[in-house]
Structure formats: structure tokens, C-alpha cells
């Protein structure tokens, strides 16, 4: 048979071919799903749900969809506009060799990058082990007793350390002394964060100023170790001085340097922060990288961010879990220790694996090589007549170049190398793991006068000593735990990584129906560009001309997101949703101030809001006033009116989520916005639920003044096991001047200052969202929204007789997620929502969102990417679990011994000699469909949460704990 086509070949090219790859529901499925829901068409369903008053005036204006190949080709051209020069800039960002085994099996592996934050401990043991390794690594290298996992970047970590100190010390001062020799971006972010809290940042720009400042009154001191200019100060006396003032001493430290330097914990520092970027994460124009924060033991209950701890499971074995969650915003709201939700888990895993792979000896060898090259570089420069300013250095030396500064930097650029111009008349040069002898000789040639003979590395190599002062050389051991001393062959490492990921459930195994989190497809074509060298190996503060590709990516993505949201201006700098909230509220605050209304500081927040909202409001110094919700889950308009009236002179804004966290499109949202505007307040629309809006309605059109987006929800950046994310802040026209700036990165100095260390935040993951928009086009994005709504309504309808949906609009429909009400089951069977969540693990599913926003419920968000088959498999599991509950209700199984209470079941527990439960072994195993169900075996039984917090332990478990 011939296989010819009568039509022109062009017709076989289908630019929309990616859309059905992203959307799991096929056209043929839709009719069936709609009949279950009781609507005639997808369009009719959506029109019956989204209030007519907010429907988009016109479709989004985006480039037409492109195939995966075409989009990659176009992005390749953008990437090619970046120029990857050898970087000697330093300043917190260094070249690093990501070990191939880590690059391929973690950074590029969906088993790691598609996982969610480890709230469900039993299916997250692998990534939590990696995070405990991270915490142990940080503790060991800094010499501190406890560290978290992780912070968003070094600069925000320093700012969090500042507020941690403020909460913890006895000094009543509002002043923090900051050494002028800290990284400039760190100083900038600390200044941004201090201002709204009424904290004073005093910069000490010389040794004299430093000495004088330390004699004054302050609650904290921040110093960089080694300093940004490279010198290494002995801080011991300064720490003592600070302590005599009842103040905390914060050290921003470089982990690689700490393999050779006396760690801050050994000279009694109170808090140590820094980045782990050079442990295997590419520079990526500024992020994502994991930062760390370690502190003294008595500060631990006040620590910001996520902390993994060790507890026990139902069989008495060690088991990891997120510890001290009562500090976090989900529970503590505006009294939380920080607003951090999404952190930097994937980069933290990479950094920890880098330490596991190299081990203490390997790290020390890398550090020694860097330090020795630095000493050689210094010697050669001196021979050329450029004596470094300081005697001490680890990896950075600085030169006073005066008038010649610019021409030196330009000469380096002409040799495809970047060196750092600091304080206008100095040059700093930083070396790293990737530095070669050719690099050293190239650097010498930059500084050599015409005709001057160049030194040779070999001339100095013999007996070269690093420039680390004797008194500051490290003598203590680190990374002594077996995990850092075992997996040093590639085979061993490969198997260790695989063993950990096998313990976890991620999107590569089954759907993760987490409400509010939007666990959709992270397409491989979207992921591929992030490790292209043109995106990965570029320094955030490289000359602007070399960052043209990123500039174009930034510009196009912002334009598209403006289309999607209806806003006038966007900044991609915030590196998580929480940071977007913070930046947005800062913009509102600054706008009020610009109108002479700086006293407006009341932020109204409905009781159903996500915890980051009140936590962010607190960080900008706003007063949170909670407004009620009515019985249907909507904002109570009467209560809102009353609160507006009561606070009318001080009203700054309201923060709403739309569609609401209750999973419904509130009909009166336009009226709500108008009411707040009438009282002089601005409207913040939390954009976490944009997956129900893109192409259908735009917050910037229906009354929102500010939103943040979560590109790691709606726009396909994977969750990475709890980060990285990107949280762009979007504003209407009159707030555009108040978007974040970045003096260090040379981005507009208006605005509210820098909110992230790097001008483009987590720049290296932006290609993911770019690819998604480019391949979907306006129609594909709208279709995704509609199918997300369709799938949520299908699940809600199919489960109606088993688990009623708590909130719906008048016609019974929901938005893109639905809250299943499990509260009545407690009464009839003793079964809780948590039991159902744990039982789902036996059936091979990640639980839906548990007890948010309503305690005792499960919030299900299927997203558009799941197939009908998978939705039905999930529904099947939920129905099977309901049947099990019915057996408990009927008294067939006791309330305290049934498959739900004992879930999840490990293979070991099911196979143990004599079976002693009221239900059969087979029921415990929960194999739903033997033909298609690849059984997931949880590695541990249910984790004891209380034990873990009572006996807080946050480092690697000694092997003895595993022995009976």
C-alpha cells in the first residue's frame, strides 16, 4: 500500500501539536465528563462558573503556538544572545563543576524535580534524607548546632537573620551594624527589608567606622567571612564585643572557604548564613540556588524557613518529617517566623549531593586548589607591579587600580573574561573550582604592561601556601558521618541517588492532586533549556551586553504575563510566591507614602487566606485585620463593609485569592474591589489560583491592583520537592514605579529597592515558563484553564455520593479545585482526613491538600494535565477507601484497627510472620487493579509528629539508631 498524501506537506505540520501533549483530556473524553457533570459543552460549563462580569474583554494577544522543536529553536536563538565569558567576578557566584551523575540523575530527573514539598512525610523520605544531609553539611561546615533547608538566596537569608536576631536578643536597640565589605546585593536586600520594620541599617565602610560602630548601640552585627573584597578578618573580638551589648553576631560565610577556615560556630557567632551555589549549582544568572541559615540552639524555635527533623514511625524506626511547623505561616499566620513557603529544595539537594560525592577530603582538596591558585595569582600580580591590597585571602584578591580600573576591566572583557569593578577604583578577582592555570596566566596578561614578561604558574607552584592567616586555619573535622564518606564512586553515587528517589512519590509515578499547588505537567521540552550553557553558566552581574539573551527572555515573558493577567507592569525578581507578595505589598505601601498617606497600614485578609498573606503583611509592617467568610465560603460582604468603615482612615489594602481558596468563583468580586477602592485601599489578588483564570478572566481587569503569580504552579516550573519557584509581582499602571529595583545589578534605581540577591531572581528557570507560553499560545492556555475546571468538576461530581464537596457556586459547580468534606466521618467511623490521606499512599497516590483552608477536609486539584484514566484511577481509590470506611461504620472493623488507622502499610509490616489485625493482609496492601497498578511501597509506617518536635533532632541519624 502506498502511503502518500494528496495534500501539501505543509498541512501535516501542526503548530498546535504540543497542546494535546500538555492537556491530558482528549476531545472524546470530554463528552463523557460533561455528561457526568451535566453540561452540554466545555465552554458552557466555564460560562456557567465564571461570573459574566469578569470575563475577559478580548482574548490574550500572544504569539501563535509553536511545536516543541520550533520553540526550542527560537529559544536557542535567544540563548545565543547571551555571551558566556570566563567569570572571575565572584561576589557570591562562582563557577562550579556539577558532577555529571548529579546533573543527570537529580537536576534533570523528574523523580526529583517533579516532587512536591515533603508535607506527606511517608512518601518523601528520600528527599528529606537529602535535606537532612544538607542541614548536617551546613552545621558541620559552619560549626553551628542547627541549620534549616533552605533559604531563597544569601541576601534574603541575611535579612531573615536580621529579624531572627531582633526576635531573639535582649538588646532593645533598633540598629543593625553591617560591614561595608559584605556583598553589595546583601546590603541592598537587608536595607529593603529593614526599612518597613523601622530598623536602622548602619554601614561601616572602613575599619575606623567598624570599630566605632561596634562601640555603639545595636541589636545585631552582620559581617562577611571572607569579605566581598576577599580579605579574611579575625572576628573573634568583634563577636565578644557584640555579645557584651546583648546583641547577635551574624556571619555571612562561604561554605567552601569554611573547609579551610575556623568556622563561625567556633568563635561563638549566633547566626551564620550564605549560599551553597558553588556546591554544584550553575550560576544561572543569579539563581536558583539554595541559601542556608544556621543558628545557635536557643534560637531554633524562632528560625525562619523549613526544617527537616528526625522522628520515629509507627514501627519505632527513625523517620524524617518537617519539624517545628507551628512556627510557620500556615499556623502562626502574621506571627510566623517568616513568610517562606516554597524554598530551594532541588538546589539544596544538589548541594548536599555534591558534598556526599566529594566527601570531606574532596571538598578540602577543591578548596585548597582554589586557595593555592589565588596565592599564585597574587604572587604573579605582585611581580607585575600590582600588589594586592591585603595579605589574607581565600579565593578573592583586590587591587587598587584607580584611574586604570575601567580599562583593566575592558581589557579582560576583550579576552573573554570578566573581572569585578568594586567601589569604582578597585578590581576584585575571584577564582573557583573551574579555574585552570591558563586562566591564571590570562589574568596576568590583563595586568601586564606592553612588553612586560609574563610569569608562569610553574614558577610559583612548588611549596605555595594559601593566604589564610595561621590563626584562622581550621583544625576541626567536618562531614564525619558515613553518608559523606561512602558514596564516592560513580556507581555508588548513582545507586544512592536512585535509592532515595525510589522512596518518594513524584509526578513521574502518579497524579498529585494538591489543591492550591497546581501540580501540572512539567514538560521535558520546557526543562531542557535550563542547563544550556548560555543560560546556566553566566554571572548575574556580568556586563549587561553579555546578558542580552536574558534581557530578551525577561522582556518577552513579562509581556506575555501582562497579557495573561491584565496588568501594566511586572517584575520577575521575586524568587517565590511569598516574595512576590512581599514586593507587592511594599509597592502598595510606597504608593500610599507617595500620596502623603503613609499612615495607611491596615491590611484586610479573609479568614480563608493562605498563611503567606498575613505573614507577608507583617513583614512590611502592616496591621492584619481578618475578615469573615459566610456559610458558602465567600467573603462576607457585610463584615467587609464594616471593617472598611471601622478602619477607613488607615486602610491600606485587602488581600484576596481568586478564585478563592474555597475553590469557587465569588460572584461579587468586582463589587468587593470597588468597595475597597472607595475606602482608599488597594486590592491585592493572590495569583496562586491563576490556573483557573488564564485566558478566561484577568485580575488586572476586574479590579486587582497587584498580584503575584506562582510560575511554579500555573506556568509549569516544577516544584522541585519544595522549590525553586518564581513569584513575579504584577501591578497596574500607577504602581509600576514601585516595582522592585536593583542598584547592584544596574536595574532602575527607582522603586522599592531589591527584594532578591539577583536582579532577575531565579533567572535560570524562566525558560520553562517561556517555553510553556510559546508552545501553548493564547488558545492553548485558555483551553488548559477550561480543562482544569472541567476535570475538577468531574471529580467533584463523581465523588459527590461518597465525599460531598464543601463549597460550590449556586449551580453546584466548582472552580479548578474542590474541597471534599470528610468531617462527618469522624463521628461515624473515627476516621479523619489525615487517615484518608495516609491510606491514599497505600493506593499509590499523593494525598490532596490536607486541612487547608478548612480543617478536616481534602482539597483536590487535578489540573488539565492528567488523563481521564488517571482521574478515574484516583476516583477509584477514593471510592474504595470510602467503602473501607463504611465497613468501619458498620462495625465490621474496629475504629482503632482498620486499614485507614494503620496506613500506610510497609511491605515489611504486611509480610511479618503472624498477621494480627482485624482486617486481612490483602486489604492492608490495597492493590486496586492488579493488571495496571504498579504498587508503590512506602518505606516507613506513619510518622509520629509529636515525638519529632519534642525530641528535636535535625542532622544525619547515627547508624546505631537503625540497630534494634
Under the rule (CB under 6 A), what is the footprint of ligand PLP? 341-342, 516, 576-578, 610, 612, 657, 661, 686, 688, 710, 725, 727
Closest to ligand PLP by CB, 175 or 578 = 578
Q: Map 559-595 to HEC letters.
A: HHHHHHHCCCEEECCCCCHHHHHHHHHHHHHHHHHHC
Closest-CA residue to 538 (of 82, 77, 98): 82
Closest-CA residue to 330 (of 340, 321, 320): 340
Closest to ligand PLP by CB, 412 or 688 = 688
Q: Are 721 and 117 in contact (CB under 8 A)?
A: yes
CB of 575 to ligand PLP, least distance (A): 9
Closest to ligand PLP by CB, 34 or 517 = 517
Neighbouring residues of 32: CB distance < 8 A, sequence distance ≥ 6: 868
Closest to ligand PLP by CB, 199 or 655 = 655
CB of 811 to ligand PLP, least distance (A): 24
Closest to ligand PLP by CB, 232 or 517 = 517
Closest to ligand PLP by CB, 245 or 610 = 610
Cα gap 224→299, rounded to integer Å: 21
CB of 629 to ligand PLP, least distance (A): 14
**CA dist 233 → 236, 302, 377, 378 (Å):** 9, 29, 20, 18
Q: Give me the residue whose beta carbon is nearest to ligand PLP.
A: 577
Angle between helices 345-383 and 125-142 (to 10 degrees): 30
Closest-CA residue to 344 (of 271, 281, 257): 281
Closest to ligand PLP by CB, 584 or 941 = 584
Closest to ligand PLP by CB, 720 or 727 = 727
Q: Are 82 and 534 in contact (CB under 8 A)?
A: yes
Cα gap 397→381, rounded to integer Å: 10
Cα gap 213→515, rounded to integer Å: 50
The kind and range of the H/E element at 700 are helix 699-702
DSSP assignment, residue 344?
-
Closest to ligand PLP by CB, 229 or 756 = 756
CB of 726 to ligand PLP, least distance (A): 8
CB of 686 to ligand PLP, least distance (A): 5
**CA dist 617 → 124, 341, 748, 925 (Å):** 31, 15, 25, 46
Closest to ligand PLP by CB, 393 or 685 = 685
CB of 225 to ligand PLP, least distance (A): 29
Closest to ligand PLP by CB, 663 or 759 = 663
Cα gap 175→220, rounded to integer Å: 7
CB of 606 to ligand PLP, least distance (A): 11
Cα gap 580→563, rounded to integer Å: 18
Neighbouring residues of 42: CB distance < 8 A, sequence distance ≥ 6: 30, 34, 786, 787, 790
Residue 566 CB neighbours (<10 A)? 20
| C-alpha R_g of the chain | 28
DSSP assignment, residue 55?
B
Neighbouring residues of 678: CB distance < 8 A, sequence distance ≥ 6: 644
Closest to ligand PLP by CB, 84 or 586 = 586
Closest to ligand PLP by CB, 692 or 940 = 692
Q: Is the dihedral of CA 686, 761, 113, 352 positive or negative?
A: negative
CB of 657 to ligand PLP, least distance (A): 5
Closest to ligand PLP by CB, 345 or 412 = 345
Half-sphere exposure of 468 (CA within 13 A, CB side): 23
CB of 820 to ligand PLP, least distance (A): 18
CB of 722 to ligand PLP, least distance (A): 9
Cα gap 193→160, rounded to integer Å: 9
DSSP string of 354-416, one letter each residue: HHHHHHHHHHHHHHHHHHHHHHHHHHHHHHTT---S-S--SSEEEEE-GGGHHHHHHHHHHTT
Closest to ligand PLP by CB, 610 or 839 = 610
Q: Are 364 and 150 in contact (CB under 8 A)?
A: no
Closest to ligand PLP by CB, 472 or 784 = 784
CB of 751 to ligand PLP, least distance (A): 21
Closest-CA residue to 561 (of 421, 410, 717, 431): 717
CB of 963 to ligand PLP, least distance (A): 39
Three-state secondary structure call for residue 244: helix
Phi/psi of residue 940, nearest 5 degrees: -140, 165
CB of 687 to ligand PLP, least distance (A): 8
Closest to ligand PLP by CB, 710 or 791 = 710
CB of 619 to ligand PLP, least distance (A): 13
Q: Are 739 and 731 in contact (CB under 8 A)?
A: yes
CB of 89 to ligand PLP, least distance (A): 29
Cα gap 484→477, rounded to integer Å: 12
CB of 535 to ligand PLP, least distance (A): 22
In the structure grid, which three cell numbers stand for residue 804, read together? 460531598
CB of 725 to ligand PLP, least distance (A): 4
CB of 608 to ligand PLP, least distance (A): 9
Half-sphere exposure of 208 (CA within 13 A, CB side): 0
Residue 890 CB neighbours (<10 A)? 10
Closest to ligand PLP by CB, 71 or 189 = 189
Amino acid at each position: 500500500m502506498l502511503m502518500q498524501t494528496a495534500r501539501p506537506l505543509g498541512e501535516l505540520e501542526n503548530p498546535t501539536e504540543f497542546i494535546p501533549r500538555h492537556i491530558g483530556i482528549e476531545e472524546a473524553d470530554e463528552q463523557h465528563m460533561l455528561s457526568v457533570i451535566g453540561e452540554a459543552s466545555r465552554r458552557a460549563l466555564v460560562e456557567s462558573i465564571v461570573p459574566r462580569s469578569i470575563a475577559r474583554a478580548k482574548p490574550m494577544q500572544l504569539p501563535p503556538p509553536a511545536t516543541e522543536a520550533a520553540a526550542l529553536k527560537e529559544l536557542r536563538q535567544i540563548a545565543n544572545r547571551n555571551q558566556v565569558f570566563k567569570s572571575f567576578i565572584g561576589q557570591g557566584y562562582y563557577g562550579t563543576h556539577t558532577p555529571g551523575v548529579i546533573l543527570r540523575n537529580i537536576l534533570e530527573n523528574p523523580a526529583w524535580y517533579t516532587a512536591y514539598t515533603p508535607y506527606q512525610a511517608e512518601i518523601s523520605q528520600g528527599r528529606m534524607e537529602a535535606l537532612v544531609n544538607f542541614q548536617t553539611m551546613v552545621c558541620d561546615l559552619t560549626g553551628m548546632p542547627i541549620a534549616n533547608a533552605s533559604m531563597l538566596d544569601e541576601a534574603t537569608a541575611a535579612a531573615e537573620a536580621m529579624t531572627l536576631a531582633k526576635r531573639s536578643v535582649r538588646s532593645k536597640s533598633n540598629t543593625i551594624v553591617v560591614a561595608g565589605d559584605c556583598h553589595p546585593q546583601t546590603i541592598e536586600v537587608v536595607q529593603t527589608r529593614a526599612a518597613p520594620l523601622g530598623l536602622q541599617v548602619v554601614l561601616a565602610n572602613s575599619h575606623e567606622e567598624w570599630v566605632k560602630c561596634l562601640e555603639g548601640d545595636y541589636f545585631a552585627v552582620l559581617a562577611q567571612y571572607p569579605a566581598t573584597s576577599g580579605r579574611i578578618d579575625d572576628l573573634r573580638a568583634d563577636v565578644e564585643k557584640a555579645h557584651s551589648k546583648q546583641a547577635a553576631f551574624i556571619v555571612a560565610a562561604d561554605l567552601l572557604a569554611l573547609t579551610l577556615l575556623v568556622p563561625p560556630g567556633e568563635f561563638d557567632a549566633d547566626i551564620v548564613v550564605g549560599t551553597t551555589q558553588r556546591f554544584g549549582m550553575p550560576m544561572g544568572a543569579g539563581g536558583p540556588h539554595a541559601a542556608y541559615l544556621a543558628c545557635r540552639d536557643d534560637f531554633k524555635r524562632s528560625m525562619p524557613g523549613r526544617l527537616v527533623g528526625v522522628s520515629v514511625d509507627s514501627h519505632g524506626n527513625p523517620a524524617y518529617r518537617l519539624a517545628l511547623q507551628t512556627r510557620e505561616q500556615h499556623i502562626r499566620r502574621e506571627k510566623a517566623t517568616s513568610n517562606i513557603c516554597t524554598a530551594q529544595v532541588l538546589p539544596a539537594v544538589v548541594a548536599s549531593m555534591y558534598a556526599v560525592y566529594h566527601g570531606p577530603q574532596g571538598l578540602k582538596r577543591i578548596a585548597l586548589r582554589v586557595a593555592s591558585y589565588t596565592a599564585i595569582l597574587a604572587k604573579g600580580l605582585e611581580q607585575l607591579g600590582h600588589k594586592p591590597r591585603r595579605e589574607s585571602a581565600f579565593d578573592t584578591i583586590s587591587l587598587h587600580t584607580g584611574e586604570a580600573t575601567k580599562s583593566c576591566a575592558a581589557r579582560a572583557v576583550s579576552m573573554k573574561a570578566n573581572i569585578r569593578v568594586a567601589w569604582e577604583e578597585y578590581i576584585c578577582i575571584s577564582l573557583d573550582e573551574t579555574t585552570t592555570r591558563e586562566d591564571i596566566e590570562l589574568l596576568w596578561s590583563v595586568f601586564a604592561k606592553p612588553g612586560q614578561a609574563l610569569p608562569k604558574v610553574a614558577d610559583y607552584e612548588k611549596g605555595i601556601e594559601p593566604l589564610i592567616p595561621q590563626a584562622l586555619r581550621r583544625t576541626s573535622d567536618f562531614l564525619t558521618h558515613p553518608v559523606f564518606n561512602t558514596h564516592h564512586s560513580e556507581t555508588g553515587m548513582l545507586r544512592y541517588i536512585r535509592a532515595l528517589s525510589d522512596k518518594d512519590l513524584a509526578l513521574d509515578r502518579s497524579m498529585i492532586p494538591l489543591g492550591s499547588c497546581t501540580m501540572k505537567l512539567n514538560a521535558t521540552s520546557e526543562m531542557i533549556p535550563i542547563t544550556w550553557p548560555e543560560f546556566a553558566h553566566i554571572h548575574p552581574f556580568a556586563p549587561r551586553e553579555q546578558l542580552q539573551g536574558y534581557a530578551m527572555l525577561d522582556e518577552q515573558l513579562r509581556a506575555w504575563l501582562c497579557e495573561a493577567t491584565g496588568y501594566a507592569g511586572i517584575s520577575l525578581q521575586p524568587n517565590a510566591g511569598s516574595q512576590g507578595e512581599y514586593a507587592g505589598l511594599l509597592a502598595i505601601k510606597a504608593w500610599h507614602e507617595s500620596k502623603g498617606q503613609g499612615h495607611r497600614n491596615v491590611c484586610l485578609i479573609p479568614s480563608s487566606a493562605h498563611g503567606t498573606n498575613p505573614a507577608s503583611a507583617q513583614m512590611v509592617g502592616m496591621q492584619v485585620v481578618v475578615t469573615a467568610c459566610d456559610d458558602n465560603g465567600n467573603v462576607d460582604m457585610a463584615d467587609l463593609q464594616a471593617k472598611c468603615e471601622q478602619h477607613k482612615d488607615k486602610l491600606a489594602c485587602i488581600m484576596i485569592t481568586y478564585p478563592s481558596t474555597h475553590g469557587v468563583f465569588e460572584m461579587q468580586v468586582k463589587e468587593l474591589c470597588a468597595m475597597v477602592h472607595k475606602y482608599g485601599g488597594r486590592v491585592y489578588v493572590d495569583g496562586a489560583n491563576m490556573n483557573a483564570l488564564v485566558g478566561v478572566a484577568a485580575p488586572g481587569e476586574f479590579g486587582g491592583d497587584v498580584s503575584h503569580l506562582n510560575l511554579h504552579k500555573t506556568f509549569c516550573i516544577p516544584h522541585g520537592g519544595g522549590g525553586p519557584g518564581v513569584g513575579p509581582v504584577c501591578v497596574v499602571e500607577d504602581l509600576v514605579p514601585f516595582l522592585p529595583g536593583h542598584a547592584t545589578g544596574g536595574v532602575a534605581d527607582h522603586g522599592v529597592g531589591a527584594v532578591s540577591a539577583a536582579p532577575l531572581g531565579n533567572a535560570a528557570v524562566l525558560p520553562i515558563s517561556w517555553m510553556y507560553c510559546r508552545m501553548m499560545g493564547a488558545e492553548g492556555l485558555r483551553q488548559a484553564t477550561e480543562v482544569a475546571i472541567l476535570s475538577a468538576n468531574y471529580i467533584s461530581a463523581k465523588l459527590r455520593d461518597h465525599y460531598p464537596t464543601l463549597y460550590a457556586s449556586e449551580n453546584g459547580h466548582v472552580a479548578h479545585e474542590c474541597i471534599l468534606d470528610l468531617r462527618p466521618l469522624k463521628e461515624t467511623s473515627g476516621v479523619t482526613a489525615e487517615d484518608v490521606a495516609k491510606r491514599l499512599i497505600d493506593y499509590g497516590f499523593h494525598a490532596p491538600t490536607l486541612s487547608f483552608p478548612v480543617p478536616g477536609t481534602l482539597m483536590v486539584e487535578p489540573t488539565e494535565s492528567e488523563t481521564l484514566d488517571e482521574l478515574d484511577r484516583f476516583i477509584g481509590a477514593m471510592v474504595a477507601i470510602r467503602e473501607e470506611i463504611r465497613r468501619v461504620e458498620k462495625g465490621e472493623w474496629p475504629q482503632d484497627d482498620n486499614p485507614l488507622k494503620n496506613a500506610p502499610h510497609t511491605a515489611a509490616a504486611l509480610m511479618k510472620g503472624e498477621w494480627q489485625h482485624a482486617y486481612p493482609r490483602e486489604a492492608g496492601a490495597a492493590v486496586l487493579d492488579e493488571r495496571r497498578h504498579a504498587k508503590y511501597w512506602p518505606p516507613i509506617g506513619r510518622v509520629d509528629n509529636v515525638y519529632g518536635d519534642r525530641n528535636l533532632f535535625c542532622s544525619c541519624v547515627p547508624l546505631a539508631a537503625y540497630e534494634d
